[in-house]
Amino acid sequence: MESRFNELGDIFIFISGIILLLLGIIFFILYLRYKKKNHFLIFLTFLAAAAQLIVRKLDVLFPVDWESGLPNFLAGIFSLIVVVLILTIILFPDRVSKNFEEELIKANKNKEE
Amino acid sequence: MFDDIRNQIFELIKQNPGIHFRKLQDISGHEVGVVTYHTKVLEKSKDIFSITHKGYRLFFEYKWHENRDQVLKLIGYLRKSTPRKLLIYLLLKENEQRSLKQIANDIDIAPSTLNWHIKRLIDDNIIQAKRYGRMVTLVLTVDHTIVRTIGNEIFPSRWEKFLDYINDNFQV
């Protein structure tokens, strides 16, 4: 029973990792299309989140010494990166200023000069 | 005879800057080979030039050559849903002065999203902001015929529309 739960858990983690990677790719394409800084940060966030999930399943790909705690350490690092990136996106949104109309007129004048 | 065909093709390109090869062939009513030959001759004699964009070959009278970079940027914007909507709106309402708020309302886009696109369009010299009294409105800086012709030739793909949907509805 326990091993069946483990298997199901692995499948869910694997699917989540793939979805996160796909979302990451979409945001990377969006970054290439619009050159918006926050699209790139979201791409990195998804990538780090996918890495965080995958790193726990490293033993499937390579023989990993679980007792060294390295996979756990790496997963922790990636989790921290995800949190920092999410905070950056929330704290520094890519918004236009309140004096937008004045800025536009100024941009025109600069071009004419 | 040859000169007549060449003149006809040249006139068509002159009247429709940014015309696509197939459309040129359709309107002129000549075979592909004939149109290819004459456009090549016209390109060699620097009467016209062409821009190839994702398999589309668009023809322009040579006088537009100095605006080539601007035209390339315009093509890029016409492949993006929101800037495309805005450019076509400005083209249709060229004699009406509308505030940014009214424009956002008319094309059904959140003002913040629209402002973000406007900033980039102004930076690339595709549109210009003008002040009328207390109101700031937008006007096209690129030739209207070019926007009209290329707007009828180039559209965002389904995938590009999906990306634009995410960008416009997921403000970060």
User: pLDDT tens digits, residue range B93-106?
Assistant: 887 888 888 898 99
Please determine, for residue B136, whether its predicted confidence score (pLDDT) is greater than 60: yes
Tell whether pTM > 0.80. Answer: no
Give the type of residue at A63. P
A91 shares contact with chain B (CB less than 8 Å)? no
**Contact state of A104 with B122 under an 8 Å Cβ cutoff:** yes
pLDDT average, residue stretch B134-153: 88
Q: How confident is the model at residue A40 (pLDDT cuts 50, 70, 90)?
A: very high
Q: How confident is the model at residue A96 (pLDDT cuts 50, 70, 90)?
A: low
Give me the CATH code for the B69-169 domain, please: 1.10.10.10
Alpha-carbon span B87 to A68, nearest angstrom = 60
Angle in degrees, CA B171, A15, A68, rounded to 5: 105
- A101 min Cα distance to partner chain B (Å): 6
For chain B, the first-to-last Cα distance in angstroms comes to 60
Q: How confident is the model at residue A60 (pLDDT cuts 50, 70, 90)?
A: low
Q: Where in chain B is the domain with CATH 1.10.10.10?
A: 2-67, 69-169
Q: Which residues on chain B are in Cβ contact (under 8 Å) with A42?
A: 172
Q: How confident is the model at residue B143 (pLDDT cuts 50, 70, 90)?
A: confident
A84 shares contact with chain B (CB less than 8 Å)? no
Q: Please tell me which of the candidates B129, B136, B166 has its beta carbon nearest to residue A26.
A: B166
Q: What confidence score (pLDDT) does residue B161 get?
A: 92
Please determine, for residue A81, whether its predicted confidence score (pLDDT) is greater than 90: yes
On whether the CB atoms of residues B64 and B24 are closer than 8 A, the answer is no
Alpha-carbon span B122 to B127, nearest angstrom = 5
A89 shares contact with chain B (CB less than 8 Å)? yes
Portion of chain B with pLDDT greater than 70, in percent: 98
Portion of chain B with pLDDT greater than 90, in percent: 43
Query: What is the second-level CATH architecture of the domain B2-67?
Result: Orthogonal Bundle (1.10)
Per the model's pLDDT, the better-predicted residue between B62 and A70 turns out to be: B62
On whether the CB atoms of residues B11 and B37 are closer than 8 A, the answer is no
Q: Which residues on chain B are in Cβ contact (under 8 Å) with A95?
A: 112, 171
pLDDT average, residue stretch B66-72: 89
How many Cβ atoms are within 10 Å of A6's Cβ, its own excluded? 10
Q: What confidence score (pLDDT) does residue A42 get?
A: 93
pLDDT average, residue stretch A82-98: 82
- B30 min Cα distance to partner chain A (Å): 38
A13 shares contact with chain B (CB less than 8 Å)? no
Per the model's pLDDT, the better-predicted residue between B26 and A4 turns out to be: B26
**Contact state of A96 with B163 under an 8 Å Cβ cutoff:** no
Q: How confident is the model at residue A98 (pLDDT cuts 50, 70, 90)?
A: low
- Going by C-alpha positions, the residue among A27, A79, A18, A72 that lies closest to residue A48 is A79
Q: Which residue of B has its CA nearest to A35?
A: B120
**Contact state of A105 with B171 under an 8 Å Cβ cutoff:** no
A26 shares contact with chain B (CB less than 8 Å)? yes
Q: What confidence score (pLDDT) does residue B78 get?
A: 93
Please determine, for residue B1, whether its predicted confidence score (pLDDT) is greater than 60: no
Alpha-carbon span A106 to B15, nearest angstrom = 35
